[in-house]
Amino acid sequence: MRGKALPYVFLVPSVVVLGTMMGYPLVRMVMLAFQNMNNYRKFVNPSLVSYVGFDTFSSILHDPLFWQVIRRTLIWTALNVALSMLIAMAIAALLGRISSWARVILITVLLFVWSMPTIVTGTVFRWLFDNAYGVIDYILYLCGGKGMLHHDWFADPNQGLYVVVTSVVVWGALPFLVLALHAGMTQVPTELKEAARVDGASPLQVYRNVTLPILRPLLMITTALSFIWDFQVFNQIWTMRNGAPEQGYWTIGVYLFEQAFDRNRYSDGAVISVAMIVVMMLVLVFYIRQMLRIGDQK
C-alpha cells in the first residue's frame, strides 16, 4: 500500500485504541448526563433510573454556584497561564546567556521538578506555607514582615488559591515551558539578531522584533496547552487542603469531584464533565488551527 493512503493505514491502530479507551466512556458519560442517576438509584433501586432529558442540564446551569466556580476557574487559570509563560520566557532567555555547566545544572533541576508527582509537590508546598513550621513564614519574618510569623495562608481561600496553589501549579508547569521555549529560541537565526544589533537595536528591541515574531507560533501552542492543563487542575488543590477543600477553593475539577463522588450525584457530575469538554474543545480548536498554520509555514 503506497501513496496518500499509507499514513491513514498507520493511524488505524491508534484510532482503534483511542476509540475503545476513550470513545466508549465518553458516550457513556453523555448518556449519563441525560439520566437521573445517583448513588441510591445506581445500587439500591436501579428501576428508578430514567432519562430526564435536559432537566439535569437545566438544574446545573441555573445553579449560581456553578457559574461562580466557572468564573473562579477561568480567572485562576488565566493567572496561572500568564505567570507560567512570563517566568518561563525569562528563564528560557537566561538559559541562552549562561555558561554550559550552569545550563546543564539548571536543566537537570528542571527535569527533576518535572519528574515529581503532583501529589508530592503539593505536599512539599503545603509544608513550606504551613503556619506553624513553614519556611515561607519564617523567611518573610526575617525580611521584616513582623506579622508574617505563623501566618495562615489558607485561612483566606483567595490567598490560599491565588497565591499558594498558584505557586504549586506554576512550579510544576515551568520545566516543560522553559525547555520548549529554550529549544525554540535556539532556532532563531543568529544572523537576524546580529543584523538587528548592527542597525542599532537594543537587546530588548532585538527580543521584541526578532525573537518574539519567530516564537509566536510556539508561544500560542504552549499557551493553549497550559490553559488545558491548568483548567482541569485537581491534585494540587486536593492535596493542599488535605482532601477536603473548602468551597472557596473549588475550581471546576474539584467541583466535579464533589458533585459526582462526594455527594454521589453521578448525572450532575456528567453534566459538569460535558461543560468541561465544551471549554476544552474551544481551546483545542485554537490549538489545532495553530498547528495547521505552522504546517503551512513549513
The full set of domain ranges for the chain reads 41-297
Residue 251 has a pLDDT of: 93
Whether 44 shows a pLDDT value over 70: the answer reads yes
Of 206, 215, 250, 224, the closest CA to residue 81 belongs to 224
Calculated CA dihedral for residues 140, 146, 150, 152, nearest 10 degrees: -80
Reported as a single tens digit per residue, the pLDDT across 150-205 is: 888 898 999 999 999 999 999 999 999 999 999 998 888 888 888 888 888 888 88
Residue 295 has a pLDDT of: 63
Among 45-49, 76-80, 238-242, the range scoring the smallest mean pLDDT is 45-49
Residue 230 has a pLDDT of: 92
pTM: 0.85
Reported as a single tens digit per residue, the pLDDT across 215-254 is: 888 888 888 889 989 998 999 999 888 888 999 999 999 9
Cα dist from 132 to 126, 197, 244, whole Å? 11, 53, 20
Between the two ends of the chain, the Cα-to-Cα distance in Å is 27
Instruction: Supply φ then ψ for residue 9, to 5 degrees.
Output: -65, -40
CATH of 41-297, one of 1.20.1630.10, 1.20.140.10, 1.10.3720.10, 2.60.40.10: 1.10.3720.10
**DSSP alpha helix (H) spans, the chain:** 5-18, 24-33, 39-43, 55-61, 64-95, 100-115, 118-128, 135-142, 157-159, 166-186, 190-198, 203-206, 212-231, 235-240, 252-257, 266-297
Average pLDDT over residues 134-146: 85
Residue 252 has a pLDDT of: 93
Reported as a single tens digit per residue, the pLDDT across 268-283 is: 999 999 988 888 888 8
Whether 91 shows a pLDDT value over 90: the answer reads yes
% of residues, the chain, pLDDT over 90: 28
Q: Which set of grid coordinates corresponds to residue 284?
A: 483545542
Whether 297 shows a pLDDT value over 70: the answer reads no
Whether 132 shows a pLDDT value over 90: the answer reads no
Task: Place 149 in a pLDDT band, splitting at 50, 70 and 90.
Answer: confident
